[in-house]
A and B are shown apart, each in its own frame.
Chain A
Amino acid sequence: MKYIDEFRDGAVARELSRAICREAGAERHYQFMEFCGGHTHAISRHGVTDLLPRNVRMVHGPGCPVCVLPIGRVDIAIQLALKEHVVLCTYGDVLRVPASGNLSLLKAKALGADIRMIYSAADALTLARENPDRQVVFFAIGFETTTPPTAVVLREARDLGVGNFSVLCNHVLTPAAIVNILESPEVRELGTVPLDGFVGPAHVSSIIGTEPYEFFASEYRKPVVIAGFEPLDVLQAILMLIRQVNDGRAEVENQFTRVVTREGNVAAQTLVSEVFELRRSFEWRGLGVVPYSALRIRDTFAAYDAERRWPLAYQQVRDNKACDCGAILRGLKHPTDCKLFGTVCTPETPMGSCMVSSEGACAAHYSYGRFRDSRELAS
């Protein structure tokens, strides 16, 4: 597979690993956060951790829109499906997220709700057009990568007047989450963020460009390297971060030059701002309420907003008190530090955002990295 296989090459990985080991000064520790769940997944799946020296540690951030989706929002979707009998369409990732009342979208389906998994937002609109006598709701989730397709579909729905179609919007914004991490109370207590830099998201950046990250670099003096999704990209980005830290620089660098530019996809950004506007605040599971971090549908598209079509009240649902996701998401604790990890909380029975999707820090560690715990104990 072109542009994929060559960026997974083992021999080149060893070269990059050698360079990292050489340049990561043995006297200090480096702690970088990869914000994006796709990077967490790539690191776990390919075993990138084994190619890093012990003094370079990757902290898994909150960058998975399923992980940070509050239970209360899933409850709304289930309610629409079960009580209002809509056809509820969503991406596969959300189907198993446990919600209130021991339900999930998949369990609601077992109870008779008409819930359909789709691959593309366009499929939801097609379903609506093919079933004019049913209300079809698209439960839209995702960061800035996934938002433009929803915008395209809303514009099409309006242009074609597909009256039985609407969107339940849960799109969230990356920069706001990064700020939240950098400004967390623990950080204020400690006086510093226990992070030396960020590996920035690949495909979010293909839309928003590298420019929005310049704020973090200058304001918080943290280097950011935007990295592609393949393991060689991640390794090269880590090397670039180490060099920045060693040089005392705090800049935004672009490792993913084959896709990402400074301004990003302007057409997509314009479309998104035509269709959506900022919500004043939105709850992120694990991070709490984050201001100006999420989008809602503009008044001009109100007719296609599920939240305006039905009276839906959002009810906050708190996670288990012993759940350490908040600290884990901010790089302050490791999954194994959490009392619930591996016992009460597993990928089968997730208690918090870090375990809910395969890209959450705890799920990734459980599925791919657990064997390291016994190795580390033994050594």
Chain B
Amino acid sequence: MCLAIPARVINLEPADQALVELSGVRKRISLALVDDVAPGDYVIVHVGYALAKLNPSAAAATLEAMQSVNATPFAGTTAP
């Protein structure tokens, strides 16, 4: 229900803002809800606010599991 997209942080800006980019489209958004964000990180953006940082290694692992779903049994990740 909540339209949010992963965007790359280009610059940090004053007052808890950041300039993010998705495929050439740049937008200024708020970092008020996340900490420790650095340029190059990907954040999930919803209504002009970053909600969370995206974990690139988890993304890679997920994709890999998808790609090899018929090769190996998927181990799954029960919430720890």
Q: Please determine if A and B sit in direct contact within the complex, based on CB atoms under 8 angstroms apart.
A: yes
Interface residues of A (CB under 8 A from B): 1-4, 6-7, 12, 15-16, 18-19, 36-38, 63-65, 91, 119-123, 142-143, 145-146, 148-149, 152, 201-204, 206-207, 210-211, 214, 226, 228-229, 232-233, 236, 239-240, 243, 251-255, 257-260, 262, 265, 267-268, 271, 359
Q: Is the CB of B46 within 8 A of A146?
A: yes
Q: What are 6 sample pairs from A and B whose C-beta atoms fall under 8 A apart?
A: A12-B66, A15-B67, A143-B1, A152-B49, A255-B77, A271-B33
Q: Is the CB of A18 within 8 A of B61?
A: no
Q: With both chains docked as a complex, state the minimum distance between the C-beta of B60 and any C-beta of chain A, in angstroms.
A: 9
Q: Is the CB of A265 within 8 A of B58?
A: no
B12 at the interface (CB under 8 A from A): no
B76 at the interface (CB under 8 A from A): yes
Also in contact, A243 and B76, with CB within 8 A (given A38-B1, A143-B2, A145-B46) = yes
Q: Is the CB of A119 within 8 A of B47?
A: yes
Q: Is the CB of A121 within 8 A of B48?
A: yes
Q: Is the CB of A258 within 8 A of B62?
A: yes
Q: Is the CB of B62 within 8 A of A16?
A: no
Q: With both chains docked as a complex, state the minimum distance between the C-beta of A178 and any C-beta of chain B, in angstroms.
A: 13
Q: Which residue of B lies closest to A91 (CB)?
A: B47
Residues of A within 8 A of B34 (CB): 265, 267
Also in contact, A203 and B44, with CB within 8 A (given A143-B1, A143-B2, A236-B65) = yes
Q: Which residue of B lies closest to A120 (CB)?
A: B48
Q: Is the CB of B44 within 8 A of A257?
A: no
| Residue in A38, A119, A239, A268 whose beta carbon sits within 8 Å of that of B74 in the complex | A239
Interface residue tally for chain B (C-beta within 8 Å): 42
B51 at the interface (CB under 8 A from A): yes
Q: Is the CB of A145 within 8 A of B5?
A: no
Residues of B within 8 A of A143 (CB): 1-2
Q: Which residue of A lies closest to B44 (CB)?
A: A259
Residues of B within 8 A of A229 (CB): 4
Q: Which residue of A lies closest to B8 (CB)?
A: A2
Q: Is the CB of B1 within 8 A of A18?
A: no
Residues of A within 8 A of B59 (CB): 3, 258
Also in contact, A262 and B2, with CB within 8 A (given A257-B61, A257-B62) = no
| Residue in A1, A18, A64, A258 whose beta carbon sits within 8 Å of that of B55 in the complex | A258
Q: How far is the CA of A252 from the CA of B78 in the complex (A)?
A: 6
Q: Is the CB of B4 within 8 A of A145?
A: yes
B22 at the interface (CB under 8 A from A): yes
Q: How far is the CA of A37 from the CA of B52 in the complex (A)?
A: 20
Q: How far is the CA of A271 from the CA of B35 in the complex (A)?
A: 14
Known A37-B1, A233-B62, A236-B65; further 19 A-B contacts with Cβ < 8 A: A2-B8, A4-B6, A15-B70, A16-B69, A64-B1, A142-B1, A146-B47, A152-B49, A202-B4, A203-B1, A204-B2, A239-B69, A253-B77, A253-B78, A254-B77, A255-B77, A258-B59, A259-B44, A265-B34
Q: With both chains docked as a complex, state the minimum distance between the C-beta of A378 and any C-beta of chain B, in angstroms.
A: 32
Q: With both chains docked as a complex, state the minimum distance between the C-beta of B7 and any C-beta of chain A, in angstroms.
A: 9
Also in contact, A145 and B55, with CB within 8 A (given A15-B66, A122-B30) = no
Q: Which residue of A lies closest to B68 (CB)?
A: A15
